[in-house]
Amino acid sequence: MNVGPQDTGWFKSTYSGGANDNCVEVRFTQGNPVAIRDSKNPTATLTTPNWPQFLTTLTR
């Protein structure tokens, strides 16, 4: 089964626009609460149980 980009569950902020690749993409998963990846290198993912702390750090 092929999964298209719209079916992957990955998303990025609407503030990122879409015209560039300087984005962080996020997917909420079972088992690992949050998966995070760089849109320029989507094969590398980071999972973190500290999602609220990550968001706080980004807003500083």
pLDDT of residue 6: 45
The Cβ of residue 37 has, within 10 Å, a number of other Cβ atoms equal to 19
Own/partner pairs, 37-45, CB within 8 angstroms, 24+ separation: 37/10, 39/12, 42/10
Q: What is the mean pLDDT of residues 35-58?
A: 76
pLDDT tops 60 at residue 26: yes
Higher pLDDT: 4 or 26? It is 26
Domain containing 26 equals 5-58
Number of domains in the chain: 1
Residues contacting residue 10 through CB under 8 Å, at least 6 positions apart = 25, 26, 27, 37, 42
pLDDT of residue 52: 77
pLDDT of residue 53: 78
The Cβ of residue 15 has, within 10 Å, a number of other Cβ atoms equal to 6
Average pLDDT, the chain: 72
pLDDT tops 70 at residue 35: yes
